[in-house]
Each structure stands twice: as structure tokens, then as C-alpha cells.
A and B are shown apart, each in its own frame.
Chain A
Amino acid sequence: MLLSTVNLSKSFGGLMAVNSVDFSIKKGQIVAIIGPNGSGKTTFFNVVSGIHRPSAGKIFFNGEDITGAPVYERTLKGIARTFQTTTLFSNATVLDNVIVGHRLRTKTGFWDVLTRNRRFKEDERKCREKALEVLEFAGLSNLADRPVENIPQEARKRVAIAMALATDPQLVLLDEPAAGINFDETAGITELVRKMQKRGLTVCLIEHKMQMVMNLAEHIMVLNQGMKIAEGTPEEVANNKVVIEAYLGSDDDAEDD
């Protein structure tokens, strides 16, 4: 198991946003988390990536307990993520955004930048090469020098993924990578996720677009009101009574495909 959570819970005041969730991701898999709005999907990511401390439970990554580790340490260990509302460094170009993504794998410090020694040059080169490589991978090479403010939404989504990839992750958590983009663009992102898997990455995505989820995921977890109500292959989940009820019960209008 690459990642597993045991009895993971997060409460905000009285609200149990994530409630005793046991979940595991095998290496090399594409898995998906689905559920109605407000069911705790993003909160689950936030707890796994360390932005929120869990109220209870444990998180293991490669068998190591990372429950108390700070955010940046988890990324160093190999967990990368994107945000639901695409977050990028504004006032900077696509390339600059992605270069920072590889900073964590470099050791350049004050002394190195002062003397511009070998390590400095080596690290600058490493970051640039890595950035160009993941931009190529994400199909963004032609946008490298554009400021991120004036590229289309789909490209922004790709930049966010490219930044995550630049961290040299093992596991990538994608929070609604296809929200707010059209049908063709969604197909493009689907393709990209598949390419990531071929590269040996493990991907966990949250998505409301069922077609994309059913198409990509080998394993799906369904959350409702913070609780895991079902899990299994796409067919199993699609035919699960409890799941169907949960979706019908909540007037979920975000499901637009």
C-alpha cells in the first residue's frame, strides 16, 4: 500500500467533515473519490496533505506514519496535490511557476547564491530542466513564457498539475482537475492523467464528472457526510444502492455530464 488512512476523522466544531475513513491506495493505481457537495472530499485531501490536523486516526505513506508531519515534509516524501480552486503564483510566467515546484529537491542556500558556486549553477539548471520536462509532459511547452494570468482555464489546470509533477511525487492528489472546462478539454485532462499512470505515478482524484471517473479509475471511494459509504470498482459503485440513494437524496447540481 502506498497510502493508507486508518479511522481518519476531521471535525470542524461539531461538524464531522471526515468521519472514520479507512482507505488505501495501491502503488500505480488511479483511484477516485466521489460524493455529493460538502461530503468531505476536499477535507480528506487536506488532512492527507497535512493542511489540516486530523481530529482522530492515522495516515501511513509507504508504511511510515506521517500523521503529524508538516505539509512540506509530506511533499518531500512524495505526496503532491492540486487545489480545487486552481491556485498558482500570479504575476509570474508558467515556467517560473513550475520552476518553484522543483525547489524542494535542491539544497541551494544563502552561501551558494552569494558565491554562485557549482551547486548554485547545478540547482538552477536542474530546476529549469525539470520545469521544461514537466511542461512538455503536460503539453504546455508553447505557453512557458506566458504570464499565468492570461492563459485559458484548461491551461491553468494543466499548470497546477505540472507544478505537482515538478515535485517528483509518487502520489498525486488532484482535486477536481476537470471542473469548469468543456467536454474536449476534459478528455485532454483524462489523457494526461492516464499518461501520468504510465509514467509509474499513483493518482487519486476527486471529480464530479462521472464519465471521466468511470473511464479512469480502477478503484472508487464514495463519501457522504464525511463517511465512506461504498468503495470498489466502477461497476460495483455504480450499482450500489446506498450510493444511488446518496446521490438522489442530495440535490446535487454539480453533476453536469
Chain B
Amino acid sequence: MALFTRKNCPALALVILSLILPLVITNKYFMHVIIMGYIWAIAVYGLNIILGYTGQTALGHAGFMGIGAYTAGLLNLKLGLSFWPAMVLACLFTAFLGWLAGIVSLRTRGHYFSIFTLCVGVIIHVVITRWDDLTGGMNGLIGISGPPPAGPVSFDSLQAQYYLVLFFLLATIFVAGRVVNSLVGRTLTAIKTSEELTEVLGINTMKNKIFAFVLATFFAGLAGALYAGYIKFLGPQMCSVSMTFDMLLYLFVGGNGTIAGPLIGSLVLSTITESLQVVQEYRTVIFGPILIVLIIFFPRGLYGGYEILRDRIRRRLPAREAPEGAKEEVC
């Protein structure tokens, strides 16, 4: 039973918690907030791959989420495609554009790369805002249909929507987790630490960075498509540069370069924002300084801070630091 090892316990507990959450929460608005938190988290997992693990500060992420959302929305509205094929095509198309953007932008380094990708994001936003005939411009797209029933399961209720988004969130975390805990992930982290050394070790860094960028934009596209299917309305505001900054906030508060960071950041910040009136009003006035303080004192965010704390406690309690076997202990 490799599933129930001590290492997996917290994760498993969280999955179970997330599964029973809709039974506990009856407040519709709060459900909505959590669903949105999940959708953002999916996009932020993408950002985490390219920024957190590969060290490339890509700033066009909201733009790619917009591509995913608008592609899904337009395929549904203009071609009458149902949600599922529209979502698949939206992810693929976003990843394809990510690939195109990646092969040119990843040749630049450091700040040039950030500014380049920022501009790519702005271009996407401006085109979506101005291309009235296609995107509806400032008025946006209205009346996108949500997912049709899959067999006996209908997605009309809020609960069903929740499980749908949760499913894709878990899938995203699964994929991200498998990627980072592997030779592929090691390669990406190596690039983050020293691109030159990685290249000298015989690794085609460009190819790996492009892979990370494509995976990142794929997740952004997925988040966008889910957004379109859930909200059913799209306005250009959703892919503005401010949204990229929001995602940076989620990532860095939660823990950049950690597997739980994106989820923690997205969920914590969006629920705090929505549940405290004060916070809602002074949102960025509060979160801006928090971001600064975190980046100065805890560059790896809440989860990174938790890891440090956990390791320290473990070191204090050598009794628990049992050999290999303990990790496989049934919980």
C-alpha cells in the first residue's frame, strides 16, 4: 500500500478534505470563492513551473490564460463546439502559442526575458481588447455554455462545478508533482541555479526551458478554459497585466518553487480577500507590503517558511528521524 505512506498522509488528508468540503460549506458565495481560488491555482502552477522551478521570470501569464479562455469561449460561441472539445483545443492552442513565444523569448536572459514576456502579455491583452469583431472588445463574450453532462453526471449545480474544477486542479498538481520530482525537474532546477553549468553538463537548456514554458502555458490555457466554462462571461480585464501581478502575488505568498505554494497562495489570498470587508477595500495596500516583506525575509513564501520550520523541529527531535523504513510506515 504505497499510497498510505507517512509521506503521503498530509496530501491524502487534504484531498479527502477537499472532497467533503461542499458537504460542509453551504454558503454559495464562499463555494464560488473557492472554485475561483482553484482556477487561479491551476494557472499559478504553470507559473511555478517556469518561474519557481526553472527560474525564468515570465510575466505574460495572464495573457496566456486569456488565450485559453477566449479560445474556449469562441469555439463554443462561434463554432458551436461543446465545452469538452473546446477545452482540449484551447489548451493545445495556448500551449502552441506558448511554444512560439517561448522559442523567441527564451533566447533572451534575465530582465530582458521578463520585459519581453511582459510585452507579449500586453500585446495579447490589447489585441483581445481591441479586436471587437472577434472578441467583443470591451463588452466581452457573453453566454458561453458550461460543460454538458458527461453520461449521468450533470454539471449544473455549484457542487458539480466544484468537483469538476477540483478534478483538474488535482490533475494539475499530479502532473506538476511528477515533473518536479524527477530527472526532468532536476534539470529545470539546475537551469534555475546556473544555466551555464547545466549547459556544460551536456544538457540542452533551451529545449528544457521551452518545455517548461509550454507546460506553463498549457496550465494557463487550462485555467482559462475552466474559467470560461464556469463564469460563462469573458471580459478583457481577466487577462490584463494586473492579473499576472496577482498570480505573482499568489505564487510568492504561497511559496515559489514549492509544490504546495500555488494552491496555498491562491486559496489563502482569495478567501481572505473575499471574506474580510476591510481586506477587500484595501486589498493591494495590504498585500503589496506583505509581498515585499515575504520576498525579503521568506523568499520561498509561506510553504517555504513552513518547510524550514518543519526541518528545524525534526532536527530537534532526532527520535523521529528514523531511517528510510519510517517513510514507508503505514499511517
Residues of chain A whose beta carbon lies under 8 Å from any beta carbon of chain B: 49, 51, 70-73, 75-76, 80-81, 83, 87-92, 96, 99-101, 103-104, 106, 108-110, 113-114, 116, 120, 123-124, 127, 163, 166-167
Q: Is the CB of B183 within 8 A of A72?
A: no
Whether B182 contacts A87 by the Cβ 8 Å rule is no
A residues less than 8 Å from B185 (CB atoms): 113
C-alpha spacing A49/B187, complex, angstroms = 20
Q: Which residues of A contact B201 (CB under 8 A)?
A: 72, 75, 100-101, 103-104, 163, 166-167
Q: A87-B194, A89-B197, A100-B190 are in contact. Are A106 and B183 (CB under 8 A)?
A: yes
Q: Does B273 contact A (CB under 8 A)?
A: no
Q: Give bound CA distance, A127 to B193, whole Å.
A: 19
**How many chain-B residues does the 8 Å CB contact rule pick out?**
25
Chain B residues whose C-beta falls within 8 Å of the C-beta of A49 in the assembled complex:
200
Contact A72 B205 (CB under 8 A): yes
Cα of A80 to Cα of B169 in the assembled complex, Å: 42
A73 to B183, CA, bound (A): 19
- B residues less than 8 Å from A88 (CB atoms): 197
Determine if A89 and B190 form an interchain contact, defined as CB atoms under 8 angstroms apart.
yes
Q: Tell me if A123 and B183 are in contact (CB < 8 A).
A: yes
Q: How far is the CA of A72 from the CA of B204 in the complex (A)?
A: 6
With contacts A89-B193, A103-B186 taken as known, whether A116 is within 8 angstroms of B199 at the C-beta atoms is no
Residue contact B202 to A167, C-beta cutoff 8 Å: yes
Contacts A51-B196, A89-B193, A114-B175; A72 near B182 (Cβ below 8 A): no
Q: A113-B178, A116-B178, A127-B183 are in contact. Are A103 and B203 (CB under 8 A)?
A: yes
CB interface residues, B 165-204, toward A, < 8 Å: 175, 178-179, 182-187, 189-190, 193-194, 196-204
Q: Which residues of B contact A76 (CB under 8 A)?
A: 202
Given the known interface contacts A108-B182, A113-B179, A113-B182, the answer about A75 and B202 at a Cβ–Cβ threshold of 8 Å is yes
Q: Is B211 an interface residue (CB 8 A)?
A: yes
B179, B182, B194: the one contacting A89 at CB < 8 Å is: B194
A110–B203 touching, CB < 8 Å: no
- B178 close to A114 (CB less than 8 A): yes
Q: Contact: B200 with A75, CB < 8 Å?
A: yes
By a CB distance below 8 angstroms, the chain A residues around B194 are 87, 89
